[in-house]
Structures are given as C-alpha cells and as structure tokens.
C-alpha cells in the first residue's frame, strides 16, 4: 500500500466517522508520532548504536517511513507550513532541548548494550522515554529549520540572484544526501580497523571532512552540468545569467510560487520605501 492510498484511506475513514479535516490531521499527526516512538522503543539501534545488514532492516525502513509519510501529509495541507513559520523559534528551541536530552540518554543506553548482540540493557520505560525524546526532537528541529528558512528566503529573494556559493551548495546538497551514506559506513569501518586507538571525536571529524570532500568533489567533477544533474533537478543557473541580473533559479523553475512570492515581497518593499 502506497503512502497516498494510506492517506486516502484515513481521510475516507474520517469522513465516515463525520470528522472534520482538522480532526483528521490531528489523528494523522498522532499516528505518525506513535508509530515512530513504538518502532524506536522496540529497536533503539535504529538511531543509537549500530544497526546495519546486507539486506534492508525492516525497523529502519518503518521508522524512516514515518517521516516520509508525515512530510507527505503536511505538504498536502496548505496550512501545514504556516505553522512552521509562525512557531519556528519555539520548534527550534524545544527540539534542541529534547535533542540534547536524547543524546545524553542514548549514550548511557549504548554503554549498557551487550558487546556481542548489541541489545540494550535498559528497561521498557527508559526505552519509551528515549524514543519519545528522539522523535519529538527530530520533528521539532525539522519544523524549526523549515520555519527559519522560510523567514530568511524572502530576504534573499529580494536580491537579484542568489550568491554563487549558496546556489552551488544548494544544488550539491541533494547529491551529498544521495551518496553520503555508503561513504560514512565504509569510512567508519576502515577507521575502526585501521585506527583502533584513536578517539571517537577524531574519527568523527575525519569521517565528516572526508565524506563532504568526496561528495562535493564528485559532484563538481562528474555531476555538475551533466544530464544526470538536469534529470534530478541539480542544474545550476549559469554565471552569465547571474551576472546579467536575472533572478530566476532552479528552485524558481521547479516551484513557480517562489517567483510570485518574490515579486510580492519586492513590491511590498517598494511601497514601504515610498
């Protein structure tokens, strides 16, 4: 069953129960949160510790799927992103607080894990608390970042053209997302075997810098300006176009509403100046 059919089935159920759209959205939101917390309570290794295999791990797929499903539902609601904009600061601060608590509690849970089976030695109540903090932090930080970005975007769009470095990183960001996971896994395994006595902080820094370097380097050398980049929406605006003062970017072409919003913001700014 696809995400769209699941959402449609829930909407039909709400209609049969004579629920309004607001109540349906609440049920969807609570359902996604409960599903994520339940999966993470059963298998905290999805986020904390180590959970990988040759075949896809079902718990990891289900947990990640809750965020894809929740994002699809939010995107389908015209009012969804306005909540992020209105409460961006609260979401960000609350998410950081829950995130710090989840990291500290997760480190404690990892220390209790069995060295062979990697099963955590904590009870169900700590698992539930850890899972709740993690899921709430993930959603809150995501909403906070989206809201802050939406607030900053109109300020940048008033300018004629996006700074070249920002446009480059924005275009390369999706490529980094696509290729970083196998690089991180291989680097972690290599560093564990080759540098067993080095501190985890140094290994983390080496993995971060190497992964970003290889991802951005491969994008610059092989992907930028290629047919693949145009196919998956990574085509950068040309330097000649930016120099000419044309403000349309790849994001504008994908989402025409950005162009309309920019024109509205520019007109509003001119009226305030007048």
The mean pLDDT of 161-171, rounded to a whole number, is: 73
First to last CA, the chain: 56
- How far apart (Å, rounded) are the C-alpha atoms in residues 9 and 69? 13
pLDDT tens per residue, range 132-158: 999 999 999 999 998 888 888 777 665
- How far apart (Å, rounded) are the C-alpha atoms in residues 22 and 45? 34
Q: Higher-confidence residue: 8 or 134?
A: 134
Say if residues 224 and 196 touch (Cβ distance below 8 Å). Answer: no
C-alpha of 237 from chain center: 24
Supply φ then ψ for residue 150, to 5 degrees. Answer: -65, -30
Say if residues 207 and 184 touch (Cβ distance below 8 Å). Answer: yes
C-alpha of 195 from chain center: 31
Say if residues 233 and 255 touch (Cβ distance below 8 Å). Answer: no
- How far apart (Å, rounded) are the C-alpha atoms in residues 175 and 155? 26
Residue 100 has pLDDT above 80, yes or no: yes
What value does the CA radius of gyration of the chain take, rounded to a whole number of Å? Answer: 22
For the chain, the average pLDDT equals 77
Question: Other C-beta atoms within 10 Å of 211: how many?
Answer: 20
pLDDT tens per residue, range 26-76: 777 888 899 999 999 998 888 887 766 667 788 888 998 899 888 878 777
Residue with tokens 């609350």: 94
- How far apart (Å, rounded) are the C-alpha atoms in residues 101 and 99? 5
- How far apart (Å, rounded) are the C-alpha atoms in residues 127 and 38? 10
**CB-based burial label for 42 (10 Å; 0-12, 13-18, 19+):** middle
Residue 5 has pLDDT above 90, yes or no: no
Which 8-state DSSP code applies to residue 160? S
- How far apart (Å, rounded) are the C-alpha atoms in residues 237 and 247? 9
């Amino acid at each position: 069953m696809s995400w769209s059919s699941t959402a449609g089935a829930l909407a039909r159920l709400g209609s049969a129960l004579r629920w309004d759209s607001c109540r349906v959205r609440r049920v969807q939101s609570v359902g996604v949160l409960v599903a994520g917390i339940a999966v993470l309570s059963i298998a905290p290794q999805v986020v904390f510790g180590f959970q990988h295999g040759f075949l896809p791990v079902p718990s990891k797929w289900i947990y990640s799927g809750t965020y894809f499903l929740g994002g699809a539902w939010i995107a389908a609601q015209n009012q969804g992103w306005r909540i992020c904009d209105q409460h961006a600061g609260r979401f960000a601060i609350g998410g950081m607080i829950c995130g710090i608590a989840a990291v500290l509690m997760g480190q404690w849970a990892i220390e209790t894990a069995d060295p062979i089976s990697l099963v955590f030695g904590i009870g169900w109540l700590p698992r539930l608390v850890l899972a709740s903090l993690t899921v709430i932090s993930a959603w809150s930080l995501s909403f906070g970042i989206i809201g802050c970005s939406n607030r900053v975007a109109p300020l940048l769009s008033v300018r004629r053209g996006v700074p070249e470095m920002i446009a480059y990183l924005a275009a390369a960001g999706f490529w980094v997302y696509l290729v970083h996971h196998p690089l991180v896994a291989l680097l972690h395994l290599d560093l564990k075997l080759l540098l067993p006595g080095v501190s985890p902080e140094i290994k983390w820094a080496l993995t971060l810098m190497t992964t970003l370097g290889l991802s951005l380097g491969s994008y610059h050398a092989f992907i930028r300006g290629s047919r693949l980049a145009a196919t998956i929406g990574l085509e950068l605006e040309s330097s000649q176009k930016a120099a000419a003062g044309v403000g349309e970017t790849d994001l504008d072409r994908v989402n025409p509403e950005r162009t309309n919003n920019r024109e509205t913001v520019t007109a509003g700014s001119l009226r305030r100046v007048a």
